[in-house]
Amino acid sequence: MQIIISNSSKEPIYEQIYAQIKKLILTGELQEGQALPSMRQLAKDLEISVITTKRAYEELEKNGFIYSIVGKGSFIAEQNKEMMRERKIKVIEENLLIAIQNAKEMNLSLAELKEMLTLLYTEDA
Amino acid sequence: MVNLILKDIIIQKNTIIIYIATIILYLLVEVSPIFLGVLYSVVFIMTAFSTDDKGNANILLNSLPYTRKEVVSSKYMGALIFTSVIIFIIYLGDFFLNGKGEVFLWREILLIIGLVMVTISFILPISYKFKSKHLVMILVGLVGIYLVTITLLIPNLHDILRGFVQNFLALQETQMYFVAILITVILYIGSWLLSIRIYERKAF
Amino acid sequence: MMENVIELQHIHKSFKGFEIKDFSINVKKGFVTGFIGGNGAGKSTTIKLIMNLLKQDSGTVSVFGMDYKKHEKEIKERIGFVYDENIFYENLTLKDMKRIIKPAYKNWDDNAFQRYVNEFELPLNKSMKTFSKGMKMKASLAIALAHHAELIIMDEPTAGLDPIFRRELLNILHELMQDEDRTIFFSTHITTDLDRIADYITFVHNGEHIFTKEFYKIEEEYAIVKGTLDLLDRETEQEFISIRKTNTGFEALTADKNRVINIFGDTVIVEKPTLEDIMYYTKKGR
């Protein structure tokens, strides 16, 4: 699990951790049931105080992203698959809107756009 | 507490050789073994005390799992133990150097221990109570009084003391001994308790 | 369930020219508490009270839930200490010091001691006189860890040490805090040392306990506010702990960030305060 924090950002460090772990969960990089590093281990790795990682983990737990077992650690909770799917679809829609906006600015037609899409999609596969 | 007594030896490990060497020297020039016994015992204890006092050893000792009672008691118990050891060294020294088989009569040993106990009974509580700077001044004052007494008041002080000691040793009456021992022990215990009280109140 | 390893309650202690009145603080188990305050604020006094080097005039001191009157040895068995002043016998070697200290503790672990001595690169056979301040600090730490101390009290451990060294100490402390039963109480002037390790900050000033807070809460509640002088009037000045006015504007500290944002909105710049800012402006405001 790779996490990068910025000391100079306006965002409090525990929020940065929360956001990054949440993203990893939503994008599926962290799987359900997977164990998170202990909050003390994470604090040591990131060179921050334990109470910061503790707060981040508490927030994650409060919002249902992880759960903790005393003496064993914290684990990724089962995510509502429907919600995740909906979220992902929304992200795709947003990205498409941006592409469409750019295309219109360049006077690219819908047909040309579809062609680009097909090309890129099949190329990847 | 045994460890605290051992500590007093460890912190003087470099000077112990000097002590033994100078004892031998003094024995060679036939200085009174009784005088040596008392002097070296007191010096040993008080050097350990001042080494503790100088640095921040008191802070160390009182941060370790020792009670203040133990720290003080180690000095009083230590004094008795060190005196015995020094008497033993002097006995050995005298035996080898001057060939005397029975240097010390029991009375002489008791006299040494008694004098050490009386001296310590006075010195320790004063040392615990007052800062080292003041102690030096008190010491200088006492030396001054001693010199004045010798030169002006009682020129033959040494002879008088020697005579006194010899009379004392010649005493036959056990009862007097018994009283002397009792007084010394009570004085020592009183001083011990006083030092504990003083030390328990100290702030570091 | 958060226990307090140290509890000072309603402590009164007076000295010549200085007094602590109704002073209470708690130190939570399993965390690093940074102890800050200016010179003469009462930091050394507090540490001496915790170590029973000083007795209070009234109030209670409890460590590990025990009091010193009845449990002095038990408490001290579990405490490790790193002091600002030198507490070693200068003419002795570290080996000698170990010989003196080891028998005092029931839990002494020779292997652990040797391990830390090696890790900290401390010579066993040179006199303590030759040890630099940093080495003496490491020696104290090695000793504290060799008897598996659950509570480590550090009084200005990094004063006079170079930044690389201070970073190394930080790494050591991070490693130590992997043990959730361990507590560190760390008094320091160098507040930047605390940024990366302190969980709680206890701030004292003039013998008063100003606050004990989680480190992140300080950012949430306190803020440095910068703006132009015309924004200040008798009412608005009340919002701040103290204000520094110059020809070009003002800079002030508030303990209620959200309120200030509500009042001033976009007309001011609001920034994260450093611990130094908090100390400086608190002193200014009293």
Average pLDDT over residues B58-84: 94
Same domain as C234, residue C153: no
Percent of chain C with pLDDT over 70: 100
Among C217, C241, C266, which residue terminates a domain?
Answer: C217
Interface residues of chain A, partner chain C, Cβ below 8 Å: 10, 12-14, 40-41, 43-44, 47-52, 55
CATH number at residue C275: 3.30.70
**What chain C residue is nearest to B8 in terms of C-alpha separation?**
C100
* Interface contact A51-C197, CB threshold 8 A: no
Which long-range contacts link B96-104 to residues 24+ away (Cβ below 8 Å)?
Answer: B97/B24, B97/B27, B97/B28, B98/B27, B98/B30, B103/B33, B104/B33
Q: In chain C, which residue's Cα lies nearest the Cα of B59?
A: C87
Q: For residue B84, give the nearest of B36, B49, B26, B41 by alpha carbon.
A: B41
Q: What is the mean predicted confidence (pLDDT) over A112-123?
A: 90
> Domain check: are C163 and C257 in the same one?
no
Q: Across the interface, do C174 and A43 touch by the CB < 8 Å criterion?
A: yes
Domain residue ranges of chain B, discontinuous segments joined by +: 2-201
Strand, coil or helix: A74: strand
| pLDDT value at residue A88 | 76
Mean pLDDT of C249-257: 93
Residue C230 and residue C171 share a domain: no
Check: CB of residue C86 under 8 Å from CB of residue C36.
no
Whether residue C32 and residue A49 make contact (CB cut-off 8 A), yes or no, is: yes
Q: Are residues C52 and C141 both part of a single domain? A: yes
- Find the CB nearest C53 among B3, B14, B59: B59
| pLDDT tops 80 at residue A82 | no
Please say whether the beta carbons of C153 and C79 come within 8 A: yes
Q: Which of C178, C215, C220 sits opposite A49 (nearest CB)?
A: C215
Chain B residues lying within 8 Å of C90, measured CB to CB? 55
Nearest chain C residue to A39 by CA: give it. C178
C69-104 pLDDT per residue, tens? 999 999 999 999 999 889 999 999 999 999 999 999
Residues C171 and C266 both lie in one domain: no
Q: What is the mean pLDDT of chain C?
A: 92
Residues C22 and C93 placed together within one structural domain of the fold: yes
Rg (CA), chain B: 18
- Tens-digit pLDDT profile for residues C208-238: 999 999 999 998 999 999 999 988 888 888 8
Domain residues for the domain of C37 are 4-217
Q: List pLDDT tens digits, range B7-23.
A: 999 999 888 888 888 88
Strands (E), B136-181: none
Number of domains in chain C: 2
Tell me, yes or no, whether chains C and B touch by having 3 or more C-beta pairs under 8 A: yes
In this model, does residue C173 exceed pLDDT 60? yes
Q: Do C196 and C236 fall within a single domain?
A: no
CATH number at A13-76: 1.10.10.10
Residues C52 and C68 in one domain: yes
Q: Distance (Å) from the C-alpha of residue A48 to the closest C-alpha of chain C?
A: 5
